[in-house]
Chain A
Amino acid sequence: MHGTTQEFKQNARIALKDVTLQTALGGLSSGLVARRAKAVGALPEFESLREEARRTKDHILENLDHYLERYEAAVVQAGGIVHWARDAEEGARIVVEICRNAGAKSVTRGKSMVGEEIGVCEALEKAGMRVVETDLGEYIIQLAHEPPSHIIVPAVHKTRAQVAELFAAAHEPRGIRGERKEVADLVNEARGVLRDEFFRAEVGITGANFLIAETGSNIIVTNEGNGDLTSTLARVHIVTAGIERVVPTLEDATLFLRLLARSATGQASETYTTLHTGPRRPTDLDGPHAYHVVLVDNGRSRVLGGEFRDMLRCIRCGACMNHCPVYGAVGGHAYGWVYPGPMGAVLTPLFVGLDTTRDLPNACTLNGHCAEVCPVKIPLPDLLRRLRKRQFDAKLAPPAVRWGIGLWAQLARRPALYRFVTGAAIRLLSVFGRRRGRFASLPLAGGWTSVRDLPAPQGETFFSAWRRQGGTR
């Protein structure tokens, strides 16, 4: 998928002024955040599960090659076919080939972030196939020709009135009319339309929340049941998954399932947790005749080797973005690629490159909330800081910023000089600001004072006030 990560600042500026978007985003904290807090509060073991999950994921990553080989062997044993893709382009090509060989005209898709990442939808459409998203949120944004703005609730930025307009435009030419006032009306209408698509498609593509090495199964977790209809009714089922989705055993998957449901939607368990293992058996009456898995690397093996390995623990729950003040203000589209919010601000530079994603690691207040709620304890603020350092080392920031940071570093490393310079600056500012008590503009600080006043200092630094008042450590 092509992104607009370079234009983050511009995207964010537009998003902040988009009244409809701001209304839609306003529901995040009362919705998903509150539901998560309640579900986590009801499980006293949550903290110990988090720690166990962190440890287990680290163990898996340390032995990733082994578990992938075991997983592959088990899939083959069950009659499935495993494909490996080095990058997005190869992954998309494999999916297109499978669909072409299946004689597919129509393809249904369950929500898959890896599918978005490798551009499955665009590749299939380019190859002349019809692709229908079946997750309600994904279907809505497909009609709107937009990328997802959230990894769990992809259409969170749309209001019901907007959805009603999209449905009217898409369905009325097909003779489907109806009331589109309540959410229930809209859900019902989508149910009818998509039901036909499930039965019509030759190929169904889903993602995988987990791949189980022990059994060769993929697990998908949904509330709607769209993943199950996608994978059961088509003649061919394709699973696209990142290589880091593998877990050794059913027990390991269970550990993550308990964390995932609570972190993502605040449920004790999602409605449908399904294990798919191979294609239909010879005497089965339904299910796909062929079962393919496309294992996608696309930068993951590289991330495994460096200081960002922790990021590969991510189970894609979305809790970090739900709790992020920046995401809450600008929404997912501003991030310009598949993965938004804190996890996206780390993943996107790692996958897409540091140069075109310069603003992402900087669009963060380092308040740390994301790390506090992360079910696998990814130190997201630390990783964002490391990315900033990499940008600095790679000389990617504008000269003025680099010069300023360099100067600051020189100062901060010399305590005596630091105290002298800040003390002098504070005294100077307090003299000039005494009359009004604040500054409406300051040289070199236009970025700050353009949207708010800087309060004038009281005349001494924190250090000297601390010493004067007899403060001790």
Chain B
Amino acid sequence: MSGARAAVLGAIRQSLGRGPLDAAAQRALDARAPVHPRPQLDGELIERFIARATVQAMSVRRLARRSEIPAGVAAYLTQHNRPLRIAVAQPLRALDWPGTIAVESRAAQQDDAVSVTPCFAAIAETGSVVLLSSPETPTTLNFVPDDHIVVLSTSQIVWHIEDVWQRLRARGTPLPRAVNIVSGPSRTADIEQVVQLGVHGPRRVHLLVVDEDLSFASSSKRNEL
């Protein structure tokens, strides 16, 4: 409703005691590149990330090579007694999955128990993984299954949240539909302020942190820190 738009903007300007900003003032605002204070973080980057992720109630396993990912997933399924049927994001499909596990690549369905996805980046400050929506990495995989296994390379770990924005801008394309910054399993404290995991999203989030570079994550256009 354009009438409402004009009315709201007009009311804002009236309250500010001025008309629309001129072109020069608008350019100055658009050029604003704020650098706000960031938390000082110390220690070693990868260790800090893993420590934070653990505090956020994620389980973490380190692997040396990408070829170890399928075995890492299989071990998790056995350990937690999960069904041997997993929804795997397309970029991980090409891995050498054992014949005992049924692997499907698609958006999540209501009865999916376990998903395995790559991620775009991981943040040491908050112990979070950053997941982008795409035809190969549908968002539902991050939220519908009970168990979400996220595969990342140590080279994807950055210090601060702002480093993720830089990497996103460096892709040179507009943001995808969804950018999910996930810091652990779903939780609530809505009943008597008791913290309870697994209310709507995954009950468990497991990270496989691989020392080797993961070529399937190349769409992230890695920059040097």
Beyond A56-B34, A155-B191, whether A272 also contacts B182 by CB under 8 A is yes
Which residues 119-178 of B sit at the A interface, judged by CB distance below 8 A?
125-128, 133-135, 138-140, 142-144, 161-162, 165, 168, 174-178
Chain A residue total in the interface (Cβ 8 A): 100
B138 to A305, Cβ gap below 8 A?
no
A141-155: which have CB < 8 Å to B? 153-155
Contact: B106 with A285, CB < 8 Å? yes
Cα distance, A305 to B107, chains bound together (Å): 48
In the complex, the answer to whether B200 meets A191 with C-beta atoms within 8 Å is: yes
A221 to B133, CA, bound (A): 17
Contacts of B21 in A (CB 8 A): 63, 65-66
Question: A63 contacts B29, CB within 8 Å?
Answer: yes
Q: Which of B12-20, B69-77, B94-102, B213-221 contacts A (4 or more CB under 8 A)?
A: B12-20
Q: Which of A224-232, A398-406, A464-472 contacts B (4 or more CB under 8 A)?
A: A224-232
- CB contacts (< 8 Å) of A258 on chain B: these are 39
CA distance A154 to B193 in the complex (A): 11
Whether A274 contacts B200 by the Cβ 8 Å rule is: no
Closest B residue to A87 by beta carbon equals: B4
- Check if B32 is an interface residue, CB within 8 A of chain A: yes
B187 CB within 8 Å of chain A = yes
Cα A153 to Cα B118 with chains together (Å)? 33
Binds B, one of A40-48, A202-210, A313-321: A40-48
Which applies to chain B's interface (DSSP): helix, strand, loop or mixed?
Answer: loop
Q: Are B12 and A64 in contact (CB under 8 A)?
A: yes
Q: Which of B33, B161, B174, B187 contacts A215 (CB 8 A)?
A: B174
**A84 touches B (CB below 8 Å):** yes
Q: A281–B16 Cα gap in the complex (Å)? A: 38
A74: nearest chain-B partner, CB-CB:
B174
Q: Which of A182-190, A369-377, A414-422 contacts B (4 or more CB under 8 A)?
A: A182-190
> Of A137, A251, A269, which one neighbours B35 at CB under 8 angstroms?
A251
In the complex, A413→B8 CA distance in Å? Answer: 43
**Chain A residues whose C-beta falls within 8 Å of the C-beta of B187 in the assembled complex:** 223-224, 271
- B38, B134, B176, B186: which contacts A277 (Cβ < 8 A)? B176
Q: Which 8 A-B pairs have the closest CB atoms?
A: A225-B201, A305-B15, A301-B11, A137-B190, A31-B193, A269-B126, A304-B15, A275-B179
> Using a CB–CB distance below 8 Å, which chain A residues touch chain B?
24, 27-28, 31-32, 43-45, 48-49, 52, 56, 62-70, 77-78, 83-86, 90, 94, 134-137, 140, 153-156, 158-160, 163, 183-184, 186-188, 190-191, 194-195, 198-199, 215, 217, 223-226, 228-229, 232-233, 243, 248-252, 254-255, 257-258, 265, 268-281, 283-287, 295, 297, 301-302, 304-306
